[in-house]
Amino acid sequence: MLDPEGRILAEAVFTQQEEHARFGGVVPEIAARAHLARLPGLVRRVLEEAGLGVADLGGVAATAGPGLIGGLVVGASYGKGLAMGAGLPFLGVNHLEAHALTARLPGLFPEPPAYPYLLLLLSGGHCQCVAVEGLGRYRRLGTTLDDAVGEAFDKAAKLMGLPWPGGPHLERLAATGDARAVPLPRPLLGRVGCDFSFSGLKTAVAQAVGKGFAHADIAASFQASVAAVLADRARHAHAMLPDATALVVAGGVAANQAVRAALAAATPLHLLAPPLRLCTDNAVMVAWAGLERLRAGQRDPMDLAPRPRWPLDELAVPH
């Protein structure tokens, strides 16, 4: 929950990780049911924490896509119900746009980045580089040709027997290994443009495991390869948007210290990494994107349909 300026009044996240971990990944049906079970309590908690009632709100924003349809339908319907019941405007937010705008949250950085800036979205479901040119104006400069980078971390971790989600476990293991011990490919390194590819790296990890390399060495070498590739892609992205004011990272992989260090050194741009709780999926960023659109005059219809697929460059510019 945000105040009219965008300052955080209260926030809560219910992570479903434990419910999904024993299946080794997100199970759509479990996700939808958990949304339904948890959402009313979460909203009540946040209102209590802020000392406000629904009638005090100026609008309700909910994620309307892209993603698993079950959770989207539950969240968007709940948001619409809340808004309709209290006669408030409703906004269906694109969750990628919310990631893109998080860095502009007031108070997060001494200066919010001015448009245009570069966004590297590095999560379990997405790996893309975006030119953020204004509210609703996003140009995708590159994307992954196969796996998302978080997915690559998770698959590599699984090959080494680490629990899901594997990213944080792999980073911890890598700290005890030698990053030069295992020769691994660096896909698309040096290639013009800003696309990504990780499936070859995953195959190479599988082979290294088969050959009996120490898992800590494989983890360290894998992480070094990913960091080097991301840094190289960031350099090429900067060449595609030379007047960028900053390089912003979002998504769970932005938690990785080796990745952060490589990105900070990759370009002369200031690296802006929001705190981790705002890098991974969260309601604060959705409220902020909603607030920006509300201020721009947008109101979404109550029959707005959630979209499982909703690329950033198909977003409308509010006017």
Q: Is 124 in the site for ligand ATP (CB under 6 A)?
A: yes
Q: Is 97 in the site for ligand ATP (CB under 6 A)?
A: no
Of 59 and 165, nearer to ligand ATP (C-beta) is 165
Edge to edge, what strands does the sheet with 137-143 contain?
137-143, 127-134, 117-122, 247-250, 271-272
Burial 167-203 (b: 16+ CB within 10 A, else e): bebbbebbeebebeebebeebbeeeeebbbbbeebbe
Minimum Å distance from CB 246 to ligand ATP? 20
Classify strands 90-94 and 271-272 as parallel, antiparallel or unpaired.
unpaired
Backbone φ, ψ for residue 262 (5° rounding): -65, -40
Of 214 and 315, nearer to Fe ion (C-beta) is 315
Q: Is 205 in the site for ligand ATP (CB under 6 A)?
A: no
Minimum Å distance from CB 303 to ligand ATP? 25
Adjacent-strand bridge partners of 117: 132
Among 59, 177, 252, 290, binds ligand ATP (CB under 6 A): 252
Among 208, 253, 266, 312, binds ligand ATP (CB under 6 A): 253
Nearest Cα to Cα of residue 90 among 306, 292, 319, 298: 298
Q: Is 195 in the site for ligand ATP (CB under 6 A)?
A: no
Q: Is 319 annotated as a binding residue?
A: no
33-72 residues in contact with ligand ATP (CB under 6 A) are 67
Give the separation between CA 242 and CA 130, rounded to whole angstroms: 13
Query: Considering CB distances under 5 to 8 angstroms, the limit depending on partner class, which of ligand ATP, Fe ion, none binds residue 168?
Result: ligand ATP
CB under 6 A: which stretch of 80-88, 182-190, 250-258, 296-304 binds ligand ATP? Answer: 250-258
CA atoms within 13 A on the CB side of 137: 8
> In the 8-state DSSP scheme, what is residue 308?
S
Q: Is 167 annotated as a binding residue?
A: yes
CB under 6 A: which stretch of 36-44, 51-59, 120-128, 296-304 binds ligand ATP? Answer: 120-128
Give the residue carrying structure tokens 């912003």: 248
Of 123 and 221, nearer to Fe ion (C-beta) is 123
Instruction: Report the chain's C-alpha Rg in angstroms.
Output: 20
Q: Is 129 in the site for ligand ATP (CB under 6 A)?
A: no
Backbone φ, ψ for residue 233 (5° rounding): -65, -40
Residue numbers at the binding site for ligand ATP (CB under 6 A): 67, 123-126, 150, 153-154, 165-168, 171, 251-253, 255-256, 280-281
- Residues making up the binding site for substrate: 121-125, 154, 167, 171, 256
